[in-house]
Amino acid sequence: MKDDNLASWLAKYFDEYLIRQRRVSPHTLHSYRDCWKLLLRYCCDQTRKKVEHLSVKDVGTDLVNGFLASLSGQRSNQAATRNVRLAAIKSFFRWLAMIEPAYLGHSAQVLNIPKMMGPRKEITYLERDELDALLAAVETETEQGVRNYALLALLYNTGARVQEVLNLRVCDVEVQRPYTVKLLGKGSRERICVLWPETVEWIQKVAESRKLNSNSQEWLFVNRQGNQLTRYGVRYILLEACQEAVKVCPSLEKKLLHPHVIRHTAAMHMLQSGLDIVTIQSILGHSALDTTTRYAKADLAMKRAALEKCRPLTREPEEPKWKKDPGIMAFLKSL
């Protein structure tokens, strides 16, 4: 084999395959990059080689399994994070097996490493009164408050992922009927979501406060410095509103709030309103229907309603035969 150098193969994988051929999103690229940075450090520690001297064959099943174990043991990563790292490693070896058949056997061994099974967390979502309290807690007398309310309203209206909304530019929102927004989801899949007139009004207020027209290429949601709002910024906005809302809706104190909760809430409310699973899948941008059906399994209100429709067990237990026989009863009393 002419070149067994791991560094050269990795450079081709990232540059030629991920960036040029697949055109993966920056989020995916950074996730894969971070995984390999961790793995290369681990390889160097285990093999006592410098990173530029590592070979493809150095990264075998034993080393990969050891790396995955270190993620759980030393970094306290859960099963989900461990599986994300494993997926990044497998992606490289799957590509390598197609490009260079000489690595087919070695790659197959790594590709056979199983995912770690872990408990699936219950979906956290807000009931209608909790959502109303959260939105009512947002102060809308300031420019920042108008932005915060428009952000939360848009997240709930569309059920979009937080980053999908943060990546919106003003021109992505159609403020003339029919009101819509163009979202770019995972895998660069584009979808159109319908907006309520009330949501559009708040978005227009955001644009007007910054003196932007509907064709502007500026970010729709920005921070105080005028830069694109981040996920951490959204988390801060959500928690700040929750601190006020919990005063009138104490049940919010028990909820572990994070930006994705609004997406879960939108999905659950759509399901409770009678919308079919396939339509919800389309709105949320799920590539697999199994992801959407999680909401049906988690909806306690629907489970309760279904149980109430069932006929309750009202039949009294049948009296034992010995109690029906007065002779037996008389005999027992005589003892």
Q: Produce one character per residue of 28-55: b if its CB has 16 or more CB atoms within 10 Å, e if not.
A: beeebeebbebbbebbbeeeeeeeeebb
Cα separation, 319 vs 24, whole angstroms? 71
Of 82, 263, 264, 269, the active-site residue reads 263
263 belongs to the catalytic site:
yes
Q: Which of 94, 255, 260, 294 is catalytic?
A: 260
User: Is 121 known to be catalytic?
Assistant: no
Q: Which residue is catalytic, options 33, 49, 90, 186?
A: 186
3-state helix/strand/coil string of the chain: CCCCEHHHHHHHHHHHHHHHHHCCCHHHHHHHHHHHHHHHHHHHHHHCCCHHHCEHHHCCHHHHHHHHHHHHHCCCCCHHHHHHHHHHHHHHHHHHHHHCHHHHHHHHHHHCCCCCCCCCCCCCCCCHHHHHHHHHCCCCCCHHHHHHHHHHHHHHHHCCCHHHHHCCEHHHEECCCCCEEEEECHHHCEEEEECCHHHHHHHHHHHHHCCCCCCCCCECCECCCCCECCHHHHHHHHHHHHHHHCCCCHHHHHCCCCCHHHHHHHHHHHHHCCCCHHHHHHHHCCCCHHHHHHHHHHCHHHHHHHHHHCCCCCCCCCCCHHHHCHHHHHHHHHC
Decide: 43 and 49 in contact? Cβ < 8 Å. yes
Neighbours of 75 (CB within 10 A): 11
Whether 120 is catalytic is no
- Give the active site residue among 106, 147, 161, 264: 161
**Active-site residue, 260 included:** yes
**CA proximity to 234, closest of 153, 183, 162:** 162
Helix axes 289-298, 260-272, angle to 10 degrees: 80
Q: Note if 286 is an active site residue.
A: yes
Catalytic site positions: 161, 186, 260, 263, 286, 295
